[in-house]
Chains A and B, each alone.
Chain A
């Protein structure tokens, strides 16, 4: 009768496995909602950041490509046409009287027009834009190195992060606190490829891709590269800003260090 017993056991095992996997699924979903689970899972971000920083020299460049590699159509993601009235007014006249504000923990707060930014030394780079969703597009960017702006504004010694405040509001609530923002540390802020781009593929930066100015942080994912940058602030910590995690997507649960 071993055959029958075997069958019985097999049925038991199958049912057991099915029950276990259902419990596991439900359990993991429930776990995902627990704050302590989030904290434990978050520890991996620190491990990843510290390891990548150890492996990656502060000046190591992201790979640069050739003109032949440019994507036929560079995908625009997130906001593609901000509805903010001030922004729309500036866009209507080609950002002619728009100014980038630089403030916070700096010795010399600045207000710079697009013409002034364009008159500064520039950097041009053809790089791969990696979206957190999984796709990639290669584009050509020209802009002012962020380091040049920070040198002009002279960071105070206690500045640790650079925060970028943007014009777009993905929630379309019209409220200042829901607008896009991002932050990076000084390692990335002074990286040679970190620029505020005003040109894409040899054209004035289109609105869909972040006109008048978008950040490029080439060793991290696309959501770090804030579009529609209006104001830059040097701060000593990011915990007190909006959701406290250092960026629009970060406040919704994404990693602040987006090198992976």
Chain B
């Protein structure tokens, strides 16, 4: 019978940049929602077509006097009262905003502080991301651990089915990322996170003047892509945390803290 084996899975650089990123992305997300709340609507193009936002959150007067929080997506309105758009407190005061103040930074309307948190942590995000990417390229981490082989890609269907059944590899196979992990980490590290930075800069009038060609369809399109990409990262994190929880939470956490990861022996046929 194979023995339980402990391997060294994550290098110091991966572990440190991972946890810095956790903190940085959390602050960026929360302060980002504060900034969004200053004008909770999204548009396409260079400027704002106030009459036809592609997404908007706000208060809407119903018949009579009741005011409800409403989210409008491509002209379709949904009642999101109490969550997005507006909430009414016990005294009947209507608070119109996008996201609830319980998830923004600061936890009440304060655009200037939201911007300060956001831009300070955006610099940390840039430096941390650069450190990770340069190290990953130089050390071979990208090529060795993250780039999927042709063979892996051709078996992606089987891997999807295994994941859907919540079956995780054991033994030798568990020593490396599986193809779905490789692809999702690559997309996050090389596409989504860099896109957050680019679309963020594309909203800056200063950067816009410096690099007119990089402006991704105009300031309002950039703001919309920034929002959608952030939502994509939130979805990734939700799935990532779920997978961490169900595939051996302590082993996973330990490997991202100390680097050491226990490999359970492959099941033997009786």
A interface residues, Cβ below 8 angstroms from B: 9-10, 13, 24-25, 28-29, 32, 38, 40-45, 47-48, 52, 55-57, 60-63, 65, 69, 71, 73, 75, 128, 130-138, 218-221, 249, 252-255, 258-260
Query: Which chain A residue has the least Cβ–Cβ distance from B53?
Result: A135
CA distance A73 to B52 in the complex (A): 13
Of the candidates A28, A45, A253, the one whose C-beta lies within 8 Å of that of B27 is A28
Q: How far is the CB of A138 from chain B (nearest CB, A)?
A: 5
Stretch from B89-97, B111-119, B156-164, B188-196 at the A interface: B111-119
Instruction: Verify A52–B207 contact, CB threshold 8 A.
Output: yes
B47 contacts the other chain (CB 8 A): yes
Would A255 and B205 be within 8 Å (CB), given that A56-B210, A69-B46, A131-B39 are in contact? Answer: no
In the complex, which residues of chain A have a beta carbon less than 8 angstroms from the beta carbon of B245?
10, 13
Contact (A44, B122) CB under 8 Å given A55-B210, A62-B205: yes
> Which residues of A have CB within 8 Å of B43?
135
CB-CB contacts below 8 Å: B111-138 with A:
111-113, 115-117, 119-120, 122-123
CA distance A235 to B107 in the complex (A): 38
Chain B interface size, under 10 / 10 to 19 / 20 to 34 / 35 or more = 35 or more
Most B CB contacts (10 A, CB to CB) among A38, A62, A134 go to A134
| B205 engages A218 (CB within 8 Å) | yes
B206→A219 contact, CB < 8 A: yes
Neighbour of A138 across the interface among B46, B105, B210, B249, CB < 8 A: B46
Q: Is the interface of B mostly helix, strand, loop or mixed?
A: helix
Q: Which residues of B contact A (CB under 8 A)?
A: 26-27, 30, 35-36, 38-39, 41, 43, 46-48, 50, 102, 105-108, 110-113, 115-117, 119-120, 122-123, 201, 203-212, 215, 219-220, 223, 245, 249-250
Contact check: which of B36, B38, B50, B210 meets A60 at CB < 8 Å? B210
**A132 — which chain B residues lie within 8 A by C-beta?**
38, 111, 115
Please name 24 pairs of A and B residues whose Cβ atoms are closer than 8 Å in the assembled complex, sorted by A. Answer: A9-B249, A32-B105, A42-B116, A44-B123, A45-B116, A56-B206, A61-B209, A63-B212, A128-B46, A128-B47, A130-B203, A130-B219, A132-B38, A134-B36, A134-B223, A135-B47, A135-B50, A136-B47, A137-B47, A221-B205, A249-B112, A259-B206, A260-B204, A260-B206
Shortest CB distance A257–B (Å): 8
Interface centre among A57, A133, A221, A254 (most CB of B within 10 A): A133
Q: How far is the CB of B50 from chain A (nearest CB, A)?
A: 7
Q: Known contacts A43-B120, A63-B212, A134-B38; is A9 also within 8 Å of B207 by CB?
A: no
Residue of B nearest to A137 (CB): B47
Known: A28-B105, A73-B50, A135-B220. 6 other contacts (CB 8 A): A28-B117, A52-B207, A134-B38, A219-B206, A254-B111, A255-B116
Q: Whole-angstrom distance between the alpha carbons of A10 and B41 in the complex?
A: 38
Please determine whether A52 and B210 come into contact, CB atoms closer than 8 angstroms. Answer: yes
Cβ of A43: which chain B residues have Cβ within 8 Å of it?
Answer: 120
Residues of B within 8 A of A52 (CB): 204, 206-207, 210
Residues of chain A contacted by B110 (CB below 8 angstroms): 32, 253
Which of B107, B119, B206 has the largest number of chain A CB atoms within 10 A?
B206
Chain B nearest Cβ from A69, distance in angstroms: 7
